Amino acid sequence: MIDKKPRASALLLLLLLCGCNDMGTQPKQQTYSPRAGPAATPADTVEYASRPEEAPSGTPALLLRGQDRYRIYCTPCHSELGDGHGMIVQRGFPPPPSFHTDRLRAVSPQHLYDVITGGFGVMYPFADRIESRDRWAIAAYIRALQRSQDASLADLPAGARAALQ
């Protein structure tokens, strides 16, 4: 008696291979064709590595929005102070660098925006989780957070300084 399993398997494999299409026969526009010209760019697309939105001007509303978004997305790792000792770190996750190091105080807000967008080290990208305007707000808030942790009495206006003394 002949075993029918190998034949059935071979027949099934042959049918599957015959059903494959190399996609070369499907209708599509090539990158450039003499009849149609260059391929049209779909609406609402952004070229890779471009910066679609410029940094907004700093306003109290922007900082409040940044603080709100920072608390939601950043404090689990970076903490409320930005020192890198958030709750996730206390549970064993590798600590991120403190925002209060000289190196991170020297970076531009664009760099902060880019790291939030694309991730860095073990930090994953937030581009699909946080809108562009909110990433700028978080970058502005990080700047304010850095200044708040390194401020001296001399940095305050005279009226505010007198109120504290």
Count: domains in the chain: 1
Q: Is residue 141 part of a domain?
A: yes
Is a pLDDT exceeding 80 seen at residue 127?
Answer: yes
Q: Give the CATH number of the domain where residue 123 resides.
A: 1.10.760.10
Q: Is residue 43 part of a domain?
A: no
Tell how strand 37-38 and strand 32-33 pair up. antiparallel
Q: Is residue 165 part of a domain?
A: no
Reported confidence tier of residue 63, pLDDT bands at 50, 70, 90: very high
First-to-last C-alpha distance (Å) of the chain: 103
Residue the block writes with tokens 């099934």: 12
What contacts 156, CB < 8 A, 6 or more positions away?
Answer: 164
Give DSSP secondary structure letters for 5-73: HHHHHHHHHHHHHHH---STTS----SEETTTEEPPPPTT---TT---SPPPPP-HHHHHHHHHHHHHH
Reported confidence tier of residue 23, pLDDT bands at 50, 70, 90: low
User: Could you tell me the pTM of the whole model?
Assistant: 0.65
Q: Is residue 14 part of a domain?
A: no
Q: Is residue 138 part of a domain?
A: yes
What contacts 119, CB < 8 A, 6 or more positions away?
Answer: 125, 126
Q: Is residue 99 part of a domain?
A: yes
Reported confidence tier of residue 90, pLDDT bands at 50, 70, 90: very high
Q: Output the average pLDDT for the chain.
A: 84
What one-character DSSP code corresponds to residue 57? P
Give DSSP secondary structure letters for 20-35: ---STTS----SEETT
Percent above pLDDT 90 for the chain: 53
Q: How far apart are CA 25 and CA 88, in angstroms?
A: 51
Q: Is residue 20 part of a domain?
A: no
Which tokens belong to 60?
């109290």
Reported confidence tier of residue 11, pLDDT bands at 50, 70, 90: confident
Percent above pLDDT 70 for the chain: 76
Least confident piece of the model among 35-39, 79-83, 104-108: 35-39
Provide the residue range defining the domain that includes 134: 60-150
Identify the pLDDT of residue 55.
82
Q: Is residue 163 part of a domain?
A: no
More confident residue, 30 or 97: 97
